[in-house]
């Protein structure tokens, strides 16, 4: 029996992508089972694997873990990406919470109408440049260190890089006014495990396309329209 973590989700980003990022950053190989049919999803539900009747779900260390934040916290703690003490952990939680909020504006983007996508694209850029990126820019400038917390590579760094790249897909020059974040992006991207994950052929998922949206809607029976924030 494989001892690698096994991820249950769609063949796309969604809420599982941050889990893929963090496992990759920790140098952990993992397997994936992609949900393509309603029957697969029903089987997980009936088997009691989905505690709150939703994915992502990760099988790891004898557990079937659900709730994205719980999964990420466990991985970060297990692989020493969660700070050296409670104060550092609190900072990491705060910074991750901020990037989570920013990513929330992007998560449902593929499910929007064409008209709403243009509105949401502008909102994402506005929120990133006025609320979120200035915070991380100031943190990096004030302490003058390579990483966000304790001058050690952590979950917060991984999450911020993921968010930066996601926003750049919506507005390519979004970091033009943030020199600290430009340097941060280059620095974190060059870490061997991250560099490998960013290369073609990795388990990183591409920008969600129509096929991904159709699969999610079919499996979860999403028959309603998603509105922009």
Going by C-beta distance under 8 Å and a sequence separation of 6 or more, which residues neighbour residue 47?
none
Q: Which run of H or of E encompasses 91?
A: helix 86-107
pLDDT at 2: 58
**225, pLDDT greater than 90:** no
Whole-angstrom distance, CA of residue 223 vs CA of residue 55: 18
Per-residue pLDDT band at 42 (split at 50, 70, 90): very high
pLDDT at 177: 96
- Of 104, 188, 194, the residue nearest 148 (C-alpha): 188
Give CA separation, 178 vs 140, 155, 226, in Å. Answer: 11, 21, 32
pLDDT in tens, 174-205: 999 999 999 999 999 999 999 999 999 999 99
**223, pLDDT greater than 80:** no
Q: Supply 193's token pair.
A: 């495990």
Q: Supply 151's token pair.
A: 């001058």
User: How much is the pTM?
Assistant: 0.95
Beta pairing class for 63-66 and 31-34: unpaired
**21, pLDDT greater than 80:** yes
Burial class (CB in 10 A: 0-12, 13-18, 19+), 133: buried
Beta pairing class for 6-9 and 31-34: parallel
Spell out the domains of the chain, with CATH numbers in brackets: 6-79+198-220 (3.40.30.10), 86-190 (1.20.1050.10)
Whole-angstrom distance, CA of residue 187 vs CA of residue 161: 10
Whole-angstrom distance, CA of residue 136 vs CA of residue 123: 19
Per-residue pLDDT band at 29 (split at 50, 70, 90): very high
Going by C-beta distance under 8 Å and a sequence separation of 6 or more, which residues neighbour residue 143?
151
Burial class (CB in 10 A: 0-12, 13-18, 19+), 224: exposed
- Of 92, 89, 123, the residue nearest 109 (C-alpha): 123
Per-residue pLDDT band at 222 (split at 50, 70, 90): confident
pLDDT in tens, 49-103: 999 999 999 999 999 999 999 999 999 999 999 999 999 999 999 999 999 999 9
pLDDT at 1: 47
Whole-angstrom distance, CA of residue 223 vs CA of residue 48: 25
- How large a percentage of the chain has pLDDT more than 90? 95
Per-residue pLDDT band at 133 (split at 50, 70, 90): very high
């Amino acid at each position: 029996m494989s001892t690698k973590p096994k991820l249950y989700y769609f063949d796309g980003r969604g809420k599982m992508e941050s889990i893929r990022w963090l496992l990759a950053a920790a140098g952990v190989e993992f397997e994936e089972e992609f949900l393509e049919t309603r029957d697969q999803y029903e089987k997980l539900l009936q088997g009691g694997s989905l505690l709150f009747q939703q994915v992502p779900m990760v099988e790891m260390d004898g557990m079937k873990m659900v709730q994205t934040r719980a999964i990420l916290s466990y991985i970060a703690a297990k692989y020493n990406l969660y700070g050296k003490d409670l104060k550092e952990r609190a900072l990491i939680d705060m910074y991750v919470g901020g990037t989570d909020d920013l990513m929330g504006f992007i998560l449902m983007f593929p499910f929007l109408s064409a008209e709403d996508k243009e509105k949401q694209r502008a909102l994402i850029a506005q929120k990133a440049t006025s609320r979120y990126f200035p915070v991380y820019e100031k943190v990096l400038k004030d302490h003058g260190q390579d990483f966000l917390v304790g001058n050690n590579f952590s979950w917060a760094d991984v999450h911020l890089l993921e968010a930066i790249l996601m926003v750049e897909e919506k507005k390519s020059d979004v970091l033009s006014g943030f020199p600290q974040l430009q340097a941060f992006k280059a620095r974190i991207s060059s870490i061997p495990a991250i560099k490998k994950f960013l290369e073609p052929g990795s388990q990183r998922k591409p920008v969600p396309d129509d096929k991904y949206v159709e699969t999610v809607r079919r499996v979860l029976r999403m028959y309603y329209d998603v509105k922009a924030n």
